[in-house]
Structure 1
């Protein structure tokens, strides 16, 4: 009860400060969007790029042929999905590990345009109407929408799905829905959603993107079951052949109800998308070299620099090239778990960060690629620069007593080493920080007043991260930290992440071009420090951070959002809740030369499996027809 009372108090303080912040950010998002009028799309800030009569997105080829197969190595995943194995086809709950791209089997109310930072257009929903107070949304569904068994997708299905997620869904689904007070089917094609007014103005953008499931199916089947039976969907693909833990195939639905919609034209071109699972990175690479995998994005610098010398590439059958990265903030960072008392002192966190010699790793392991991250909003306007602006200070000042003094100066930077791998100056500074925090050197280790060693266990899932952790651990040992590396299998790794059972862990996360309060809460909000399955890995609990998330959600314009997130960036960097690691500007990919694709990639996504197509002529030339 004491912990609950503390949490409630933190929420009260955050909301009180947020009221001050909100006063500086007048109005709400969608303030320029008319109410009482049927809209074909929504955008958090500004006008929609595409008019109501648009025929397709600009980044697709509407004449792309249908057919063929892509054996695809997914570069990203969501919810409970895993790259290494799977034991369920249910990706909508926290339990189990599901394969990536199950989302292709489900439609949502609306879908994103990948050449706009925050716009969504109607998919299941033909239109949406805002209520005068902007806390209510009335959707008119397309009457032709169908599940794969031919039954209609109705407003009752949508209301059922959203209420189900709110109560039992994966935390990334349930969290945005906690503000929803009502989901009612007015009739078969009319849905009313109401919110309590405490939601961020961009909250609805998360809700309309959620997959919609069948009420009849999940009335007859347990929603939270780990099952290899494919749930009933309505999307462009359905689950085909499955070999548990090894292979999943998604088959294009030939009579897909939405194939001719403007939001789908030129997309979903492959007859079959196949994903094979490998526990070992080298085995996955060998499968690509043999042609068992057709598309691969390379994340290991050593392999990119030295491994692409196999016969198929030399013969021109495989293409190796880079595509531009997205115009979205990139977050890749290490978390020290502050639920464990030895990491609650920022001086300890900074000492451990000082032992990470990025310059040596870049030279010795990354072959000169990657740049050092300094921010959780790298590559974006949200990254703090220079001294705080008056607008940023207005958000930060109410929390001056809580925040580190460094918050109010130039943004904190991670130190650059001499690249030797054992920078004496940095390690000396780390030792001094540990001493200031009360850790004394006794023999080979530093200990606290109880005589307990400062231990750091670094959690790893595969060999590539161990290569990076090893020199870091050696530097920690040099200053008396009892550092070790624990490699576990995929299932254990997911379980330990979800239950916050680690000392040090790594996360690469896509925050989105227009970060929403819901997305920020997953990473930084105090409440999420105690919710299994969320990504607040450090266990951050800060009224200031909570208030800045609220301020971001209240932003009326992109300029106001930038102000709130730059202020948040200053706080995160000063506290060192996350230790920024590195980032890459481009996508490094290789593929068998049997595909066509639009040369102009969209700015906010890289939808290879849906926007590319099978080219019979190219495939015939390389013997893949």
Structure 2
């Protein structure tokens, strides 16, 4: 066959030029920061917030509210034990003393172009699973494809920006992204837990079972008492124990979790000495129950740990899939029935501040009126968003703290009347004549004391709101299938929001079972602003886009905001010790940096 040599030369020149462009600005590093540069250099020895000389040994006993019947947390079947990072290593690991940086774990180094259109992980050749088999690129590819195709719906949504993944050689794997500018995706992919293909090739991955898993993480499951207790043993042969990102962590020989169906019972068990460490969510418990001989004699410690984490949004959430809640006037009116000032004084012992932002306790919270930079994002959406986004600074209703917020309820009545609602025989009816009646579902008994006064105030408006308690299994299943009217829920935020916003607020997620868009938001303007967050290339752009989104969420009254604290409440047995905790410490108190002083 004849060859056109001139054409061939031209193609070769063009390919060389493209190759030069493709490799002209490639980064390869031990770590990857969302914005800016990593805090720790390539030759760092350990994280600043760990004790590298922490003694190994001892035991940590923890608790969980609920039950479990599966050790496969990756599929939607069953109720899985939270084995997570104890058993499975991820490609990268996060440092909790900077906003969002991922350091190599299974991946020794990370490679990416400036436009972050792909990311390549060079695996550490020392990485092994607990059965001694090496962790290879084929395991990463298999894990990703399996989670996308057969795992919980969360995975296919969260990783939807990935076009395909390739194993370039036994220790190199590349994720190629779909067109777009999702700069966070390269870091998110690093959070992928890697499963052993050789183990699962003879098993049905979609089954929720109790077979002890094989992973590459620091612990292995040692004992299982289904639904009641699970115990993990530290692996002496853990391949990563001397890595800088791991040094000073995973110090307990044994970690166990006891399962309780009721938190009141769990708290009494803690004070009795049945487990060692507790994160307290109840202000009432914190003020009244953490007392007694064990605390007086120093056997139990009570500690408040300040943090710089965004508080996110906790609130009483509307399910917009219920046609009743499609009316923004009703949603706004109901916000006046929650008397935070009374609740804080009488139920919370003054421990909370009112939440007003979806990015509370951070520089991403919208305050005042929109800035010029925010307006550049908001103006094109003016016809799709509430006018008050441009004219008012959102503040949740404030009461006189009497417990009978008459002025607030009068304001709510005015809003409802203006919108065409009418009361007949004490029952409020929509403009179409349907009774305003629904259920508020909960599974935590502690919230009943908060929701009952709220329901009483709604009753004064003619609204029939029934507070309904269900068990944990039923609650999880109904949330998973969006089978509820209202619930108390929270939307956690990090210091570097990104892809998770798609699942919180995105229109596509509203249609996916098990997604975190439990509100059911399908709003093109929200989608646009979420995309601005995801595609932000600088910290300033991220803050501006977050504030703009915050305003639109606020003024759509998708939730009735609750409250927040800027510290964590921890209590633990005095034999447990910890180093100074990091600025962005999570609710687990960076527990993997703690140690048992009896092990010294």
How does the TM-score come out when normalised to structure 2? 0.93
C-alpha distance in 2 between matches for 1:450 and 1:567: 34
Match of 1:441 among 393, 405, 423: 423
Aligned-pair distance for 1:149?
Answer: 0.6
Aligned counterparts of 2:471 and 2:270: Cα–Cα separation in 1: 22
Change (3 A) 1:47 1:601: closer
Of 299, 310, 316, 2:281 maps to 299
Deviations 1:407-454 (A, max 9, x none): 112321111011111111111111222222322100010113553210
Q: Deviation of residue 602 (structure 1)?
A: 3.8
CA contact (8 A) 1:411 1:574 kept: no
Asked whether the equivalents of residues 55 and 599 of structure 2 are also in contact (C-alpha less than 8 Å), the reply is no
Q: Which residue of 2 aligns with 1:562?
A: 543
Is 2:80 the partner of 1:98? yes
Question: Structure 1 residue 211 and structure 2 residue 193: aligned?
Answer: yes
Shift of 1:250: 1.6
Paired residue secondary structure (1:335): strand
* 1:575 counterpart = 2:526: no
| 2:49 alignment counterpart | 59
**RMSD (CA atoms):** 1.6
The one-character-per-residue Cα deviations of 1:544-597 (angstroms, maximum 9, x if unpaired) are 110111111121111110000000000001111122110011111111100121
SS in 2 for 1:217: helix
**CA distance 1:179–1:120, change in 2 (3 Å):** same
- What do residues 121-151 of structure 1 show as CA deviations (whole Å, max 9, x unaligned)? 1001111211465312222111111111111
Question: How far has the Cα of 1:101 moved from its partner?
Answer: 4.0
> What is the match of residue 362 of structure 1?
344
Residue by residue, what CA displacement relative to the aligned partner does 1:377-397 show, whole Å, maximum 9, x if unpaired? Answer: 100011001111111001011
Q: What are structure 2's unaligned runs of at least 5 residues?
A: 1-22
1:138 maps to: 120
CA distance in 2, matches of 1:337, 1:600: 37
Structure 1 stretch 197-206 or stretch 157-166: which is displaced more? 197-206
Deviations 1:135-191 (A, max 9, x none): 122221111111111111100000111111222222332223212122111211011
Structure 2: distance between partners of 1:285 and 1:329: 24
* Aligned pair partner of 2:502 in 489, 496, 521: 521
Task: Verify the 8 A CA contact 1:141 1:190 in the aligned structure 2.
Answer: yes
1:407 aligns with 2:389: yes
Deviation at 1:34, TM superposition (A): 8.3
Q: Once structures 1 and 2 are overlaid, which stretch shifts more, 302-311 or 207-216?
A: 302-311
For residues 449-478 of structure 1, give each alpha carbon's deviation from its aligned partner in whole angstroms, at most 9, with x where no partner exists: 553210121011021011111000011111
Structure 1 Cα separation of the partners of residues 264 and 241 of structure 2: 38
Q: Which residue in 2 is equivalent to 1:334? A: 316
Residues 1:262 and 2:244 aligned together: yes
Supply the distance in 1 between the matched residues of 2:155 and 2:572 (Cα, whole angstroms).
Answer: 33
Partner of 2:530: 549
Q: 2:63 aligns with which of 62, 68, 73?
A: 73
Moved over 4 A (4+): none
Q: Does 1:47 align with 2:37?
A: yes
SS of the residue corresponding to residue 441 of structure 1 reads strand
The farther-off stretch of 596-605 and 536-545 is 596-605
Q: 174-183 or 287-296, which moves further after superposition?
A: 174-183
CA distance in 2: counterparts of 1:439 and 1:607, whole angstroms:
48
Match of 2:520 among 518, 539, 547: 539
Match of 2:129 in 1: 147
- Residue 422 (1) aligns with residue 412 (2): no
Distance 1:346 1:431 in 2: 14
Quick check: which has more Rg, 1 or 2? 2
Trace 1:448-463 onto structure 2 (pairs within 5 A): 448-463=430-445
User: Matched residue of 1:471: which SS?
Assistant: helix
Q: Which residue in 2 is equivalent to 1:251?
A: 233
Name structure 1 gaps, 5 residues minimum.
Answer: 1-32, 75-82, 619-625
Partner of 1:393: 375
Contact 1:388 1:410 in 2 (8 A): no
**TM-score, scaled relative to structure 1:** 0.90
**Equivalent residue, structure 1, for 2:218:** 236
Measure, in 2, the Cα distance between the counterparts of 1:413 and 1:496: 31
Q: Could you tell me whether the CA contact under 8 Å between 1:329 and 1:510 is conserved in 2?
A: yes
> For the Cα contact (< 8 Å) 2:116–2:186, is it kept in 1?
no
Name the SS of the counterpart of 1:220 in structure 2: coil
Question: 2:366 is paired with a residue of what secondary structure?
Answer: coil
Give the C-alpha shift of residue 270 in structure 1: 0.4
Specify whether residues 338 and 146 from structure 1 end up closer, same or farther in structure 2 by C-alpha distance, changes over 3 A only: same
CA contact (8 A) 2:366 2:547 kept: yes
Instruction: Tell me how far 1:36 sits from its aligned partner.
Output: 2.8
What is the CA-CA distance between 1:368 and the residue it aligns to? 1.2
The 2-side partners of 1:529 and 1:505 are apart by 16
CA distance in 1, matches of 2:250, 2:552: 42
3-state SS, counterpart of residue 201 of structure 2: helix
* CA separation of 1:433 and 1:39: change in aligned 2, threshold 3 A: same
Whole-angstrom distance in 1 between the partners of 2:161 and 2:580: 41
1:617–1:604: structure 2 CA closer, same or farther, 3 Å change rule? closer
Q: Distance in 1 between matches of 2:360 and 2:204?
A: 41
Aligned length: 577
Distance 1:440 1:293 in 2: 54
8 Å contact from structure 2 (residues 311, 565) kept in 1: no
Higher mean C-alpha deviation, range 151-160 or range 164-173: 164-173
For 1:419 and 1:100, the matched residues in 2 are separated by 40
In structure 2, what is the Cα distance between the partners aligned to 1:361 and 1:607? 27
Residue 524 of structure 1: CA displacement? 0.6
1:352 maps to 334
- For 1:7, the equivalent position in structure 2 comes to none
